[in-house]
Amino acid sequence: MDETTNEASRKGFSGWVRRQNAGLWFGMGFLAFSILFFKMSFDLPYQSKLGAGPGMYPRWLSGLSIVVALIYIWQSCSIQVFRVGDCFPGRQALLNVATIFFSCLAFLFLLNTVGFIIAGSVLMFITFVRNYRLVPALALSVGITLICYLIFKVCFSVPLP
């Protein structure tokens, strides 16, 4: 039995998540997005003095979007079911992915306060520390950030803070 099947059969919240239909949830998100756009299209005039107004195209587009979202949800529930546990990786791999995501968030929060070199080093360190020892990870993080800073700031005049 592989890791994903093991995890899918797990009980509790984690097991519940892994048994969920990923296609259905994505479809629901897309449907909500389409309904929001459809509702907002009524705030825009459908016609104008020039003919078609700024609301005509968005109204038709979002209306058709709702139809497509409903078909997709139906298809996800009946024809091709993507269980979270089957299409997403196991805990360890997902942790690697989450590391990248949170390192980006850390960068976003830090950049304007501490500047590129520190924020970039933190970003790199978070991604390296799980795969390298502490000192090489730190050296790589600072080194690569400094090289990037020099290349982009000096060579390409990118106004990095």
Backbone angles phi, psi at 89, to 5 degrees: -75, 180
Using CB under 8 A as the binding rule, whether residue 99 contacts other proteins is answered as yes
Using CB under 8 A as the binding rule, whether residue 34 contacts other proteins is answered as yes
By CB under 8 A, name the one of 1, 11, 13, 101 that touches other proteins. Answer: 101
Which positions lie near other proteins, rule CB under 8 A?
22-23, 26-27, 30, 33-34, 37, 40, 44-45, 47-48, 50-54, 56-58, 61-62, 64-65, 68-69, 71-72, 75, 80, 82, 87-89, 93-94, 96-97, 99-101, 103-105, 107-108, 111-112, 120, 123-124, 127-128, 131-132, 140, 144-145, 148, 152, 156-160
